Amino acid sequence: MVSMIPTDRDIKISAIQRLLKEREYYIKECIEFEEQLANGEDVEKLVVDSKKMAPLIEEKIKEFIQDIPEDILNDEEVKAVVEQAKKIIS
């Protein structure tokens, strides 16, 4: 019988994927705000705030990866997700 309780490994993979999606969201949001700013809309503060978020999330991803226990980090699926994350944030 398959357990429905997520393992620590599953939680780590999901967390990295969620952080990458969050980073992507802020980058897209920043592009949208810059377009609005170019059209004369008053969104300058939003652009500045959004530009700050992607690097903060990248740092959180790096910290998160460093905190993954070695036994979980040796899992092939975890390795693949971590490598993907490292490529994206580098």
Full set of structural domains in the chain with CATH: 9-89 (1.20.58.90)
Three-state secondary structure of 3-63: CCCCCHHHHHHHHHHHHHHHHHHHHHHHHHHHHHHHCCCCCHHHHHHHHHHHHHHHHHHHH
Query: For the whole prediction, is pTM greater than 0.85?
Result: no
> Which tokens in the block code for residue 52?
């700050």
pLDDT tens per residue across span 67-81: 998 898 889 998 999
pLDDT tens per residue across span 49-64: 878 888 899 999 999 8
